[in-house]
Amino acid sequence: MSAIAAGAPRQTVPPHERAAVIPAQKLSARVERPEGVPVFARPGGRRLGLLTMRTEWGSRRVMPVIANQGPWLRVLADVPGRHSGWILASGDDLSLHPRRYALVARRSRGTLTLRDRGHAVRTIAVAFGRPGSPTPLGRFAVTDRLTGAGFGGAYGCCILALSGHQARLPRGWTGGDRLAIHATDKPFPTPSAGCLVATDADLRYLMRRAPLGTPVTIRP
């Protein structure tokens, strides 16, 4: 832990060496390079795009690391056509930080569980997508923490935007395809176009405990 302790000079330990001190699955990577960092299909492989320092909603780009191969880190991110990609940890392009929380959703149970260092601390009831537009399964990450007021109030108090997309949108849907965990303006959660929907009280709780880069796994 001392290699990445708060206040330690970032340049003293290269990012890929920090990933060796703490298991990759317990780290988050934040993009520090203003121009962004390229993302690849595999270490040294085909370039897929650029991960900018800030997201489309202006948040800092923070991604959970799920594997490493030398100086290469595999991260959960909004990568075209896939849920993850590989980035090269070189120089000061990235900073790495210990990760504490994770979210695990189960569609068949209608639940979302917050885990703290691997231990379940709270499970809440959530609604998922409708039969014609089911919530996609897979591994994603929290990219933005947004106020619902900026989106007309239909999303309740707040929104945790995710790195995934809904490929099966309802006919006539105009609300975009980004997945999210959000509240609702109704008294109780109702099925959505693919997002996870919870009460305002539960979303406020998650907003306090699910920072940027929190991994989100959606299971059957």
pLDDT at 73 over 90: yes
Which among 97, 51, 42, 98 has a CA at the least distance from the CA of 70? Answer: 42
CA dihedral 37, 42, 46, 50 (to 10 degrees): -20
Q: Read off the pLDDT of each residue in 11-25 and give the average, rounded to a whole number.
A: 60
Claim to verify: residue 31 and residue 92 sit in the same structural domain: yes
> Can you give the residue range of the structural domain that contains 169?
101-219
Domain edge (last residue) among 58, 81, 98? 98
Claim to verify: residue 30 and residue 110 sit in the same structural domain: no
pLDDT tens-digit map of 154-192: 899 999 999 999 999 988 888 889 999 999 988 889 999
Q: Match 């990445």 to its residue by tokens.
A: 4
Claim to verify: residue 72 and residue 154 sit in the same structural domain: no
Domain edge (last residue) among 39, 67, 98? 98
CATH number of 209's domain: 2.40.440.10
Count of structural domains within the chain: 2
CATH number of 66's domain: 2.30.30.40
Claim to verify: residue 113 and residue 191 sit in the same structural domain: yes
d(CA 115, CA 102) in angstroms, rounded, equals 5
Claim to verify: residue 44 and residue 144 sit in the same structural domain: no
Longest dimension (CA), the chain: 54
Which among 76, 64, 72 has a CA at the least distance from the CA of 26? Answer: 64
Domain edge (last residue) among 98, 114, 130? 98
DSSP state of 12: G
Helix, strand, coil % in the chain, rounded to nearest 5: 15, 45, 45
d(CA 115, CA 156) in angstroms, rounded, equals 24
Claim to verify: residue 131 and residue 209 sit in the same structural domain: yes
Task: Let me know: does 61 contact 54? Beta carbons within 8 Å.
Answer: yes
Claim to verify: residue 90 and residue 113 sit in the same structural domain: no
Claim to verify: residue 52 and residue 8 sit in the same structural domain: yes
What is the token pair recorded at 88?
């090269």
**CB burial readout 114-152, b (16+ within 10 A) else e:** bbeeeeeeeebebbbbeeebebbebbbbbbbbbebeeee
Q: Read off φ and ψ for residue 219, nearest 5 degrees.
A: -110, 165
d(CA 215, CA 118) in angstroms, rounded, equals 12
Claim to verify: residue 117 and residue 208 sit in the same structural domain: yes
Claim to verify: residue 213 and residue 105 sit in the same structural domain: yes
pLDDT tens-digit map of 101-145: 999 999 999 999 999 999 999 999 999 999 999 999 999 999 999
Q: Read off the pLDDT of each residue in 50-56 and give the average, rounded to a whole number.
A: 97
